[in-house]
Structure 1
């Protein structure tokens, strides 16, 4: 069984499944303010999803002073989470709270 690691700051907590990781990021970390549009989102995957679904890569690079390596890493994280995590269950849980 692969482990999922929270990479927000120096958290590094480990989880047995991606759903638990995304819920942890939403519940236990401070909210994230998008540097492009100032929207407040959950941190971690949800912030990455917002940035890449709502804004262009160029907007992201400018707002976060990111390089291509940082963009590729976040795109990779987004792709893995969306492939392996039951996001409907995660968002349903967050809506119930």
Structure 2
């Protein structure tokens, strides 16, 4: 890979982030617990990272505002429309993976 300047690198990373967010907004069938079990992060994690990055830049972006950016709607709306109760297998896997 050729040398990429800092501005271009940031633009590429931002484009990848936007594509990931768009993908997650489209794949409402994928539950957060599935993301956590398979990838170790979920939409809420991404929202926290977004809010933390804003804070690092001196911007006041709340967790709820960041979640709305990631979910594409207020979190409570997304939850009511798309979130299902985790089944026993999902919960057991989550406990196994994240119980340190």
User: Which bin holds the TM-score, normalised by the shorter protein?
Assistant: 0.3 to 0.5
Give the structure, 1 or 2, with the largest relative contact order (CA under 8 Å, sep 6 or more): 2
The structure richer in helix per residue is 2
Q: TM-score, normalised by structure 2?
A: 0.33
The structure richer in strand per residue is 1
* Bigger radius of gyration: 2
